[in-house]
Chain A
């Protein structure tokens, strides 16, 4: 591939313009019934996550319990998935065997991706064999930044193949891609080899920056353009940094006004988060009963990123 501006292939993004656009989403005023709907929907979209070296089977068990029943309020739906390291999949499987909750596992030398392709593919296969329903992979940022876009894409295609029936989420690690032009380009490079129902995802949560409304918007717009061109719907997962219910509602406003109703569900949109869940529960309780509860009324099962 000749070296030229990647924006020539996939289109440019103006930084000032996109940040102005997303600032408008935050001025939407979501009240009463629409707020409650948004909060419930956000709960159902959470990939409840723990990705730490100190994770134990016990922590995963507690995470799974929280995922199944986030609070005592029976009207609150379970979350979409738990997201864990491959070595803990079997443990999670034990606790989620009879539930609709998906088991998502990071793989491909998460979070850096700095291993041989062979090892990364083996890790994906290991996770799938262990019972993962979804694989969260990282792209090779080193290759991307050195302009080897075809190679980046070939690697993603290889992971798709290794996934078999498992859903794939491709983490672009946007904070390492340096520009919105690159985020848009990387979105397309991934989507071109993904299957309907696979996802693109902002961040590992392990690097400096994480999801913002602006980088998520760049990816939403890429998803929209790709869908309108090909008919293949790709899902979106912002991850890291979304901690409050208010933020989550802003993210959903962006989805509603960019991709429309068909993306307002957990098969096409996820939040990679953990502390977000309890804030959602707290706000739901406040909407229903008119008063805030202290944080300690909500069970704590995942206080990672």
Chain B
């Protein structure tokens, strides 16, 4: 795409700049060449994706009333994967009616231990079909099979297991209070972790006794529809979970529906604000998990190689399509040059390419739209004077791909330091003192996550207290667990998902 600067060119362009990050003249370099190339190792399990998916309403697959379908493509090949039904407001309405009926007649009054059995069954079925779901997720969304296989699908199953355990223990979730389900919940999820976000939303809702109308993102609906098949297999009562597919208009119909007692949204801050406006005059409860621009703060005494690994994991995991991605790196000035050099060296062995290859580290960008957005922001970074570095890895000739990228000489006012890029692009800033690090880390409209790297425990504790972020990781990054609440400060949203706190957001307390 637009940004394909040859790294060597970029280096020579900077020869006269007196302070150079990374490559040092005349110093030894390592060779990451092709002496031992890994042969292609494609995952070949059958994803069992149907040619066309209807809406899942009231426990059945139902054609959309408009009769319209749209094509979901594989971002790594630009080839069609499946056709997805386009739901209009009438479809959304019948989904809510089905949910309301199921809530009033079955789910609300079912004993928790019975509800728990269904949720356990969903978790086990998901485990049984883990490989199939992983392949489908990689084909439809572009993420490397290594991640869908080792992270997305097992973590999705873990969320169902965790919440299944809560279903019969709700009396103990808020000691001294009485809890009840909220009712029918409308949920809208993003395209970066399609199945996992679905699990984050559905599992606590079901455990708490709510019924669900959920809309997956329009580019990544395939695994949600496969999940609907799995719900049939689990014999979940009809209407407890309803899945409607479509784009923004469908989403607006879903979030604006009067039967929704709560709206749970994960996605961009921009859309989150629209929903909040839409619901401003009603009593609908909301939880919002929105954008982020996380700071990963590396002190000079940190375990350097593990910090490099954590920074790489923090920004290149899932092509950087992660709301809590560590997209701003703050390095202590004393180690900045050597750290950047190590980072560049590490990037040389990242493998970009076919998401289904088991050795791929970075897969395809989810959509052309997203790729354009990344290119646009990267161009702004270059135009505003930041220094770009990309390793010389080859990219497939088709599909939406973007090289892992870092920017040095970034200041707080650069667009690439302020706006969420949602791609494999890291902006590097430096600091001298802990106070400066805190100030810079908090100088953002977002506050979803942050990372601290240091060998000193007291420093971790102070940073964790001072950083205005919902999650602060110390000497690690992008770690998730169903029992650990996740959510943001400021424009990163409100409400928590996971753990006791996340469950409370699906319950009425009295």
Q: Which residues of A contact B (CB under 8 A)?
A: 7-8, 11-14, 16-18, 20-21, 27-35, 37-38, 41, 221, 224, 227-228, 231, 252, 256-257, 259-262, 264
Please report the C-alpha to C-alpha distance between residue A300 and residue B150 in the assembled complex, in whole angstroms: 39
Known: A28-B359, A228-B27. Is A17-B475 also a contact (CB below 8 A)? yes
Other-chain contact of B475, A16, A231, A259 (Cβ < 8 Å): A16
Most buried by B among A17, A18, A257: A17
Q: Are B476 and A264 in contact (CB under 8 A)?
A: no
In chain B, positions 440-498 with a C-beta closer than 8 Å to chain A are 455, 475-476
| Contact status B30-A259, CB under 8 Å | yes
23 A–B contacts, CB within 8 A, in A order: A8-B301, A12-B301, A12-B303, A17-B303, A17-B475, A18-B306, A20-B309, A21-B309, A27-B146, A28-B38, A28-B358, A29-B358, A31-B39, A31-B41, A34-B36, A34-B39, A224-B30, A228-B341, A256-B349, A260-B32, A260-B33, A261-B34, A261-B36
In the complex, A106→B174 CA distance in Å?
Answer: 66
New A-B pairs, 5, CB < 8 Å, besides A14-B475, A260-B31: A29-B41, A30-B41, A41-B36, A256-B349, A260-B30
Q: Which 10 pairs from chain A and chain B are nearest by CB?
A: A17-B306, A29-B41, A14-B303, A261-B35, A29-B358, A260-B30, A14-B306, A12-B303, A257-B349, A34-B39
Q: Is B372 an interface residue (CB 8 A)?
A: no
B305:A29 contact, CB within 8 angstroms: no
Residues of B with C-beta under 8 A to A264: 35-36
How many A-B pairs have beta carbons closer than 8 Å: the answer is 92
Enumerate chain B residues within 8 angstroms of A31, measured Cβ to Cβ. 38-41
> Which residues of B (16-55) have their CB < 8 Å from a CB of A?
27-41
- Is there an interface contact between A29 and B31, defined as CB atoms closer than 8 Å? no
Pairwise interchain contact A29-B359, C-beta atoms closer than 8 A: yes
Known: A34-B38, A261-B33. A16 touches B476 (CB 8 A): yes
Q: Count B interface residues, CB 8 Å.
A: 33
The CA-CA distance from A229 to B310 in the complex, in Å, is: 23
* B302 at interface, CB cutoff 8 A: yes
Residues in A with CB closer than 8 Å to B106 are none
Assess whether A261 is in contact with B303, with CB atoms less than 8 Å apart.
no
Interface centre among B36, B305, B310, B476, by most chain A C-beta atoms within 10 angstroms, is: B305
- Complex Cα–Cα for A6 and B41 (A): 42
- On whether the beta carbons of B455 and A7 are closer than 8 Å, the reply is yes
| Most B CB within 10 A of own CB, among A18, A34, A231 | A34
Q: Roughly how many angstroms separate A33 CA and B41 CA in the complex, as a whole number?
A: 11
User: Interface code B290-326, partner A: CB below 8 Å = 1, 0 otherwise?
Assistant: 0000000000011111110110000000000000000
- In the bound complex, how far is the Cα of B200 from the Cα of A202, in angstroms? 44
Q: Kindly state the separation between the CA atoms of A228 and B29 in the bound complex, as whole angstroms.
A: 7
Residue of B nearest to A257 (CB): B349
Binding site for A on B (CB under 8 A): 27-41, 146, 150, 301-307, 309-310, 341, 349, 358-359, 455, 475-476
Contacts of A262 in B (CB 8 A): 30-31
**B475 CB to closest chain A CB, in angstroms?**
5
Closest CB-CB distance, A77 to chain B, in whole Å? 15
Given contacts A29-B359, A259-B30, A260-B33, contact A21 B306 (CB under 8 A): yes
Contact B306 A13 (CB under 8 A): yes
A288 to chain B, nearest CB (A): 15
Q: Are B301 and A17 in contact (CB under 8 A)?
A: no
Closest chain A residue to B313 by CB distance? A20
Taking the closest CB of chain B, its distance from the CB of A284, in whole angstroms, is 16
Instruction: Choose one: B31, B38, B341, B349; the contact of A30 (CB below 8 Å).
Output: B38
Residue of B nearest to A265 (CB): B35
> In the complex, A252→B475 CA distance in Å?
27
Q: Which residues of chain A are within 8 angstroms of B475 by Cβ–Cβ distance?
A: 14, 16-17
What is the CA–CA distance of A93 and B55 in the complex, to the nearest angstrom?
A: 78
Q: Assess the B305–A18 pair: CB atoms within 8 A.
A: yes
A118 to B30, CA, bound (A): 39
Contact check, A37 vs B305: say whether CB atoms are below 8 A apart: no
Shortest CB-to-CB span from B360 to chain A, Å, is 10
Contact B309 A34 (CB under 8 A): no
Let me know if A12 and B38 touch, CB within 8 A. Answer: no
Please report the C-alpha to C-alpha distance between residue A18 and residue B303 in the assembled complex, in whole angstroms.
10
For B40, the chain A residues whose CB sits under 8 A away are 31
Q: Which residues of A contact B309 (CB under 8 A)?
A: 17, 20-21
Chain A residue at minimal CB-CB distance from B40: A31
Shortest CB–CB separation between residue B144 and chain A, in angstroms? 11
Contacts of B305 in A (CB 8 A): 13, 17-18, 21, 221
- The answer to whether B310 touches A256 (Cβ under 8 A) is no
Q: Are A231 and B38 closer than 8 Å at their CB atoms?
A: no
A286 to B93, CA, bound (A): 61
The answer to whether A228 and B28 have CB atoms under 8 Å apart is: yes
Most B CB within 10 A of own CB, among A37, A252, A261? A261
Measured between beta carbons, the chain B residues less than 8 angstroms from A20 are: 309
B359 touches A227 (CB 8 A): no
- Chain A residues closer than 8 Å to B455, beta-carbon distance: 7, 12
By a CB distance below 8 angstroms, the chain B residues around A257 are 32, 349
| CB pair B359 A32 closer than 8 Å | no
With A16-B476, A21-B309, A29-B41 as contacts: A228 and B30 at CB distance below 8 Å = yes
**Whole-angstrom CA separation of A38 from B36 in the bound complex:** 8
| Most chain A beta-carbon neighbours within 10 Å: one of B28, B301, B341 | B28
The interface centre, meaning the residue of B35, B358, B475 with most chain A CB atoms within 10 A of its CB, is: B35
Q: Which residue of A lies closest to B146 (CB)?
A: A27
A231–B38 Cα distance when bound, in Å, is 28
Q: Which residue of A lies closest to B477 (CB)?
A: A17
**Residues B31 and A261 in contact, CB atoms below 8 Å apart:** yes
Chain B residue contacts of A41, Cβ below 8 A: 36
Question: In the complex, are the beta carbons of B359 and A261 less than 8 A apart?
Answer: no
The distance in angstroms between the C-alpha atoms of A13 and B307, with both chains bound, is 10
Q: Do A11 and B304 touch (CB < 8 A)?
A: yes
**Chain B nearest CB, measured from A255 CB (Å):** 9
A17 to B37, CA, bound (A): 26
Q: What residues on B are CB-neighbors of A35 within 8 Å?
A: 39
A162 to B40, CA, bound (A): 49
Question: What residue in chain A is nearest B26 (Cβ atoms)?
Answer: A231
How many whole Å from B109's CB to the nearest CB in chain A?
45
Cβ of A14: which chain B residues have Cβ within 8 Å of it? Answer: 303, 306, 475
The residue on B at minimum CB distance from A233 is: B28
The answer to whether B38 touches A17, judged by C-beta atoms less than 8 angstroms apart, is no
- Tell me, rounded to whole Å, the shortest Cβ–Cβ distance linking B153 to chain A: 15
Q: In the complex, what's the smallest C-beta–C-beta distance from B33 to chain A, in angstroms?
A: 5
B146 partner residues in chain A, CB cutoff 8 A:
27
Task: Kindly state the separation between the CA atoms of A271 and B301 in the bound complex, as whole angstroms.
Answer: 33
Q: Could you tell me the distance in whole angstroms from the C-beta of B366 to the nearest C-beta in chain A?
A: 23
Quick check: A13 and B41 within 8 Å, CB to CB?
Answer: no
Q: How far is the CA of A32 from the CA of B42 in the complex (A)?
A: 12
Beta-carbon contact of B39 and A17 below 8 Å:
no
Chain B: minimal CB distance from A21 (Å): 5
Cα A34 to Cα B351 in complex, Å, equals 16
Q: How far is the CB of B181 from chain A (nearest CB, A)?
A: 39
CB-CB < 8 A to A8: which residues of B? 301
A122 to chain B, nearest CB (A): 36
**Alpha-carbon gap, A16 to B309, bound state (A):** 12
Residues of chain B with a CB closer than 8 A to A260's CB: 30-33
Which residues of the partner chain A approach B29 to less than 8 Å between Cβ atoms? 228
